[in-house]
Amino acid sequence: MKNNYLYAISSLFLVSVVGCQSGTESTATEQVAAASGTITTLLPLNTSIDRNVVKPFNASLKLNTTGETGLQVDFQSKQHSYSSIVFSPETPWNWSEYQDFNLAMDIANPGEHSVQVYLDISDVDGGNYTRTVSIPVGGKKVYYAKMAGHDLVSMDADPSVELNFNSGLRSNPDTWESDDIQFISMWGKKNLNLSGITKIGLSVQSAMHDKEIVISNIRLRHNPEFNERYLTHIVDKFGQNSTVDFEGKIHKESDFAAQRDEEAKSLDNKLLSDRSKWGGWKDGPKLKATGYFRTEKVDGKWSLVDPDGHIYIATGLDIIRLANSTTMTGYDFNHAKMTQRSIDDPTPEDSQGLNRVDDSLVSTREVTSELRKDLFQELPAYDSRMGQHYGYRKSAHSGPLQRGETYSFYSANLDRKYGDNGADYMQAWEDITVKRMKNWGFTSLGNWTDPRFYDNDQVPYFANGWVIGDFKTVSSGNDFWGALPDVYDPKFAERADFTARTVAAEVNNSPWCVGVFIDNEKSFGRSENDEAHYGIVIHTLKRDGKDVPTKAAFTQIMKDKYGTIDALNKVWGTQSKSWDDFNTHVDSTINNKAQVADYGVLLGAYAGKYFSVVEASLEKHMPNHLYLGARFPDWGMPIEVVKASAEYVDVVSYNAYKEGLHPSSWKFLEEIDMPSIIGEFHVGASDSGLYHPGLIHASDQEDRGRMFVDYMNSVVDNPYFVGAHWFQYIDSPITGRAYDGENYNVGFISVTDTPYRPMVEAAKEVNTNLYKRRYSK
């Protein structure tokens, strides 16, 4: 038998190889397996559990022999932010002989809530690939994850390219027709070392409820016949999925006007009855009025206070703008003739508008990616009415194209919907958006709102800016969105001042501006290990202080603490000859806990300098508005940095993509005791035609609404949080936003400007009960 490498797996795993030893009569099970393309079945239904192979963490296991048969896993997720089950054989699986196959399993959900399961598959090289899927309440379905792409010899392509998403989408359409459900790609090493697979893990993370699933028939299968046109003409002329139907889909031009007129009947342009004109709690306690937004702790709970002195909790939506609505088309122009971006531009290109190329360059238009071009059924002519919605991006964060032509289907659909007879469709869009926010009960416009809304004088807003310029940089070793500023470089302070001055001019001292976010998701450090946590310090210490002001500052801080270099060497276990030698280069390998403690001091010093410089600039130019920090990502918020920010910001901000604020993950707020705000969260699903639900998954649109309520309630119930903003107003383009390929169903409205009914109903539920829930407990 070829698969004798599986002999060491415990009795939990059944080796049932189709077409095994000659002369062995195949069983009925094997015949069924052969018909379904099964190569190997790994998990049987009726055996004892070998705890050496099946390893639960914060979860309990039992074998079901009635009803939904299989291994039932009860994730204790309400008590623990992370719970899992891992299948780990004594000898790694060797699947290297298979060229075109997937890992499949049957999963049922007998519980009361959908279950987002993270699938982690790891190899002997330390590589790991994470995928995820939402398991709806109900009976078993087949879920699969490709382990090797199709054998694309006929297409003259490497099968590994398929797994690497050469399309530029974060998740592709399925490559074969079936009722099976594919795990959605998230992150990690997509082409694992198949000669040594060490574990298969299923986990539930930061859930608000206990979850349960029943797993059975874990197996390897041959991939079915490849659909060579799986990426061809998948987008219709309205930017929707052309291959499926769904609630709210626009089928013809006249549908836009019908949907517009029907929605208009429900929008009365009034605030909820218990609201002040700012969205504060008119029926609540009256506090000191300053004419601007501020913070105060009320009855042991932090709150914002509106300009008239009413308690104010910020709810709202991010990205109310067209800048992120564009997608790469597969065309480009003569780049040499384009005006290049200035390094001193205070606004990132991705935060700007469509940036259409000059008409003189249209004649140089040429195809640079046939694959991208063929995604679309139809793109308009440049000189047509819909042609005005083309744009251009001179750079991209990720994806197969580093620059090129873009198109905004959303902008074009606004034109179709509101621009008849030459009407100003952008003004109509602004008016309808403000009416929606009031009708849906939101109290603010979230981060990255187009400045055109800054003078709406009906809904408060949050302003934003970026510190961009030619200052020197440092690195954490994993600079996800780009290099970090050398905050001790005087040029950084100059650019921070310029940013604050620019934002101040946009806000114009308006009391409708709650406050300002500066920058976003800086790579201050990760939590995986000490090397990732203190990456800024480790990498900066290796550099020369003559060229790197932050390194020189680190040298001075340690010199002030230790006095002599010998004293530092003794504690750190290093061999620097002098402080000058230390300032030139240090072997920053971590040797002991005392050294780690000093690294924490240096990391805190770096963060303190960053936030103090920005705070000083904002205090100079915008003294009446709150400084809301840099929106820490939940993957990068070292405690030293969070504490440093709390010394300078008015409100600490976090982007937390989880199912909710799990109490065990936020205990540190008790020590910091600062007002906090969620800058980003979202939940998506796969039933509206998009190929990726986003970072957090629901089973369908109704489930999205339920999960929105759960998340928001966890915010409202936390005494340190003063609000949360959903990311984002509009769905990502189905073919991925131009900057980084995100093609997520995370909008409150679709690409055709159609609101998702379950999301609107959920928002009204949360916002109607907002203040009474907060202060009735």
Instruction: Give the CA radius of gyration of the chain.
Output: 28
Q: For residue 772, what are the CA distances in angstroms to 245, 393, 523, 712?
A: 40, 46, 37, 14
Per-residue pLDDT band at 212 (split at 50, 70, 90): very high
**Residue for token pair 């060490």:** 198
Residue 169: CA count within 13 A, CB half-sphere? 28
DSSP 299: T
Which residues have C-beta within 8 Å of that of residue 193, sequence separation ≥ 6?
A: 123, 124, 125, 127
Which residues are CB-contacts of 443 (< 8 A; sequence separation ≥ 6)?
A: 275, 278, 279, 280, 312, 313, 314, 315, 316, 459, 460, 723, 767, 770
The mean pLDDT of 722-746, rounded to a whole number, is 96
Burial 510-542, CB ≥16 within 10 A → b, else e? bbbbbbbbbbbbbbbbbeeeebbbbbbbbbbbb
User: Phi then psi for 430, rounded to 5 degrees?
Assistant: -60, -45
Task: Count CB neighbours of 297 within 10 A.
Answer: 12
Are the CB atoms for 229 and 374 separated by under 8 Å? no
Over residues 15-46, the pLDDT tens digits come to 333 323 233 334 444 444 444 588 988 766 45
* 263 or 165, higher pLDDT: 263
Q: How is the chain split into domains, by residue range?
A: 4-222, 327-407, 451-630
Asked if residue 623 lies in contact with residue 513, where contact means CB atoms within 8 angstroms, the answer is no
> Which pLDDT band, with edges at 50, 70 and 90, does 691 fall under?
very high
In sequence order, the 6+-apart residues with CB closer than 8 A to the CB of 571 are: 562, 592, 594, 595, 598
At 5 the pLDDT is 28
What is the pLDDT, as a whole number, of residue 297? 97
Could you read off the pLDDT of 431-456 as tens digits, one per residue? Answer: 999 999 999 999 999 999 999 999 99
Does position 151 have pLDDT exceeding 60, yes or no? no
Burial of 226-261, coded b for 16+ CB within 10 Å and e otherwise, reads: beeebbeebbbbbbbbbeeeeebbbeeeebbeebbe
Torsion of CA 743, 747, 750, 751, to 10 degrees: -50
pLDDT tens-place string over residues 326-339: 999 999 999 888 87
The chain-wide mean pLDDT, for the chain, equals 91
Q: What is the pLDDT of residue 35?
A: 46
Rounded Cα–Cα distance for residues 281 and 274 (Å)? 6
| Residues 240/689, Cβ–Cβ less than 8 Å | yes
Distance CA 770, CA 712 (A): 9
Question: Structure tokens of 648?
Answer: 């300078």
More confident residue, 344 or 577: 577
The span from the CA of 464 to the CA of 663, in Å, is 29
The confidence score (pLDDT) of residue 336 equals 83
How far is 400 from 402, CA to CA, in rounded Å?
7
Residue 772: burial class (beta carbons within 10 Å; 0-12, 13-18, 19+): middle
Of 334-348, 493-507, 600-614, where does mean pLDDT reach its minimum?
Answer: 334-348
Using the predicted structure, report yes or no on whether residue 424 has a pLDDT greater than 90.
yes
Q: Check: CB of residue 571 under 8 Å from CB of residue 599.
A: no
Question: Which residue, among 523, 521, 457, 471, has the nearest Cα to 499 in the 3D structure?
Answer: 471
Render pLDDT for 339-389 as a digit per residue (tens, 0 to 9): 777 777 777 777 788 889 999 999 999 999 999 999 999 999 999 999 999
CA angle 378, 380, 383 (to 5 degrees): 165
Single-letter code of the amino acid located at 702 = E
What is the per-residue pLDDT for 36?
Answer: 58
Select the CATH number that applies to the domain covering 4-222 from these four: 2.60.120.430, 1.10.10.10, 3.40.50.12280, 3.30.70.3450: 2.60.120.430
The one-letter code for the residue type at 68 is E
For residue 221, what is the DSSP state?
Answer: E
Phi, psi angles (nearest 5°) of residue 560: -65, -35
Host H or E run for residue 2: none
- CB hemisphere CA count around 703 (13 angstroms): 22
Burial class (CB in 10 A: 0-12, 13-18, 19+), 156: exposed
Instruction: Read off the pLDDT band of 47 (50, 70, 90).
Output: low
> Dihedral of the CA atoms 516, 519, 520, 522 (nearest 10)?
-140
Pairing between β-strand 721-726 and β-strand 676-680 as defined by DSSP bridges: parallel
Q: Which of 483, 465, 497 is nearest to 348 (CA)?
A: 465
Lowest mean pLDDT among 41-45, 605-609, 739-743: 41-45
* 8 has pLDDT over 80: no
CA 706, CA 692: separation in Å to the nearest integer?
19
The DSSP-derived string for 621-665 is H-TTSEE----EETTS--HHHHHHHHTT-SSEEEE--SSS--GGG
With beta carbons less than 8 A apart as the criterion, state whether 628 and 651 touch.
Answer: yes
| Predicted pLDDT at 351 | 79
The whole-number average pLDDT for the span 178-203 is: 95
Q: Give the DSSP H or E segment for 280.
A: none
CA distance 636 to 523: 6
List the one residue out of 666, 656, 653 whose CA is nearest residue 626.
653
Q: Could you tell me if 691 and 666 are in contact, meaning their C-beta atoms sit under 8 angstroms apart?
A: no
What distance in Å separates the CA atoms of residue 14 and residue 708, rounded to the nearest whole number? 41
Residue 22 to residue 39: CA distance in whole angstroms:
16
The residue-averaged pLDDT of 401-410 equals: 94
Between CA 645 and CA 597 the distance in angstroms is 19
Beta-sheet pairing, 311-312 with 327-328: unpaired
Burial (CB count <10 Å: 0-12, 13-18, 19+), residue 131: buried
CB 514 within 8 A of CB 461: yes
